[in-house]
Amino acid sequence: MDLRARIFVAGHRGLVGSAIKRTLEAQGFEHVMVRTRDELDLLDQESVTRFFAQERPEYVFLAAAKVGGILANVQYPADFLYQNLTIQTNVIHAAHVFGVKKLLFLGSSCIYPKFAPQPIREEYLLCGELEPTNEPYALAKIAGIKMCEAYNRQYGSNFLAVMPTNLYGPYDNFDLESSHVLPALLRKIHEATVHKAPKVEVWGTGKPRREFLFVDDLADACLYLMKSFDRTDTAPFVNIGTGIDIEIGELATMIKRIVGYSGEIVFKPDMPDGTPRKWLDVSKMDRLGWRARTALEEGIQKTFDWFLKQQQLIVGP
């Protein structure tokens, strides 16, 4: 990738897109193109086509998506299915029509079966039933992978797909009704500390195990792949993670320590746990020469520091 290449980051205001944009700019890329939703509605095929025709991006990072935690997925299944299918269909097809050199599609580890063997290898895709609470989102992401594969096979496109594990970091969503588990815990425990609440309630048993990847590490991995590797028939998509998982109960204790909360963490076993375990096999990425660098506690501390700065900006001195 030439430093003067025209690069479009779709979803630059989100957790992943913002990290990719930061990484590209830090490495000296001069023409990183971004658009707000008001400037370019990715749900509108005509607008997407017009943008690609006018701007002619050479490389595309497709990080735009409707995302959320268990509660949001349960409440808005149609939105998760429709919006994600539409966004990725519009962007991937336009990338083909206007001759994009390479596109990288961001998927999710939720594509894998609920009871997939652990650690989860790429070939376990479509070998079992999905987790019901996020099935619409997972189906959309699976369709995105298959669309990249189909365009590669039929047209010789150079479309890559990556499946990151659970992500966290600056610009995450901390809304308690739509966020994922780590930012939700961070906010809940912080607010309990501020208000001196004696306890924090957490959905589920605390027993499910999850793997967490600092988003700046994901951005580094995406750029590493985009610069160094082309799609192949034997590796149509690749897992990206740390190879290390942790119980949600242990995660809550770690966040409690980082935030400095002295109260009690109380789990609610009558609420859904979601998938029992999601632990990715990252040996393929290992063989390609990339590994995550940020330890979980270090990453949570960086995320909490960023969160506090945002709170100060909102509240003021």
Binding-site residue numbers for substrate are: 188, 203, 210, 273
- How far is the CA of 300 from the CAs of 168, 193, 205, 308, in angstroms? 8, 17, 22, 12
Residue set of the binding site for NADP(+): 11-17, 106-109, 141, 164-167, 180
3-state SS assignment for residue 19: helix
SS3 category, 28: coil
CB 137 within 8 A of CB 269: no
Beta bridge partners of 272: none
**Phi, psi at 316, each rounded to 5°:** 90, 170
- Binding-site members are 11-17, 106-109, 141, 164-167, 180, 188, 203, 210, 273
Determine which one of 76, 82, 112, 137 is catalytic.
137
DSSP code of residue 112: S
SS3 of residue 188 by DSSP:
helix
**Residue 247 gets which letter from DSSP?**
E
Whether the CB-CB separation of 167 and 222 falls below 8 Å is answered with no
Task: Please state the φ and ψ torsions of residue 27, each to the nearest 5 degrees.
Answer: -90, 5
Rounded distance between C-alpha atoms, residue 71 and residue 200, angstroms: 18
Q: Using CA atoms of 284, 290, 291, 294 in order, give the dihedral in degrees to the nearest 10.
A: -140
User: Alpha-carbon distance 224 to 237, whole Å?
Assistant: 14
Q: Is 137 a catalytic residue?
A: yes
Cα–Cα distance between 59 and 138 in angstroms, integer?
25
> Tokens at residue 313, please?
């900006």
The secondary structure of 114-162, three-state, reads CCCCCCECHHHCCCCCCCHHHHHHHHHHHHHHHHHHHHHHHHCCCEEEE
Strand partners, 1: none
So which residues are the catalytic ones? 137
